Amino acid sequence: MLIPIPDLLDADGVAAIRALIDPAGWVDGNVTSGHQSALAKRNLQLPEESPAARQAGQMVLDALGRSPLFIAAALPLRIFPPLFNSYAGGQAFGVHVDNAVRIQAGTGLRVRSDLSITLFLEPPEAYEGGELTVETQFGVQQVKLPAGYAVLYPSSSLHRVEPVTAGRRVASFFWLQSMIRDDGARQMLFDLDRSVQGVAAQLGQDHAEVIRLTGVYHNLLRCWADV
């Protein structure tokens, strides 16, 4: 499941985050890498404890909470606080799989990484390269979205960031633990939710078929959810 989330942030939201993070103190991106990732990762990152990162991260979380598409697709249980990275001058992140469990430094917060999120914070025309390349069951997909757009994809997938050969790629990245551990079950619930919304748009929310399908959705969620 690879799902774009259009306009998670509007232009003002992107500008507000960039005003916070651009002048902050960037460090080597391997501060949050596991052993495998450290061998492939070349970028800059804001430290987790950076006040700018925390304030900007809260803005991202607030935007996620306002996105029905994100809620429906992710069914989030826990979200690791958003982080921020930057690629320029040929920097890249080679093929890797995200760590299965992320632990927030200093808090003990543990998040099983079911889904990964990249939120683009730089217009695609402002840099060359930098595509997020994800190996899915349907083949290799490359993602390079407008500033303010996000993409949601399984953390278990092989993925990489292509070298940035001109300009600068700035993004937020983080992970979440879904109420639905299994990616296939989560995809079915998402498809069912979209179908229910489509039928409701045609027949009305109070139609008997809409009510019946909504019940099916919630009964499946009740069977599968880990809360």
Query: For 184-192, which contacts have Cβ atoms below 8 Å and span 24 or more sequence positions?
Result: 185/220, 185/224, 186/1, 186/73, 186/74, 186/75, 186/114, 187/1, 188/220, 189/75, 189/217, 189/220, 189/221, 189/224, 190/1, 190/3, 190/72, 190/73, 192/216, 192/217, 192/220
Tokens of 5: 């989330």
Cβ(173)–Cβ(139) below 8 Å:
no
- What gap in Å lies between CA 45 and CA 83, rounded to an integer? 8
Q: Is there a binding annotation on residue 96?
A: yes
Q: Are 174 and 82 in contact (CB under 8 A)?
A: yes
Annotation-wise, does 7 bind a ligand?
Answer: no
The reply to whether 98 sits in an annotated binding site is yes
DSSP character string of 163-187: -EEESEEEEEEEEEEES---HHHHH
207 marked as part of a ligand binding site: no
Task: Return phi, psi of residue 200, to 5°.
Answer: -65, -35
- Which residues fall in the annotated binding site for 2-oxoglutarate? 169
- Which residues fall in the annotated binding site? 96, 98, 159, 169
- Which residues fall in the annotated binding site for Fe cation? 96, 98, 159
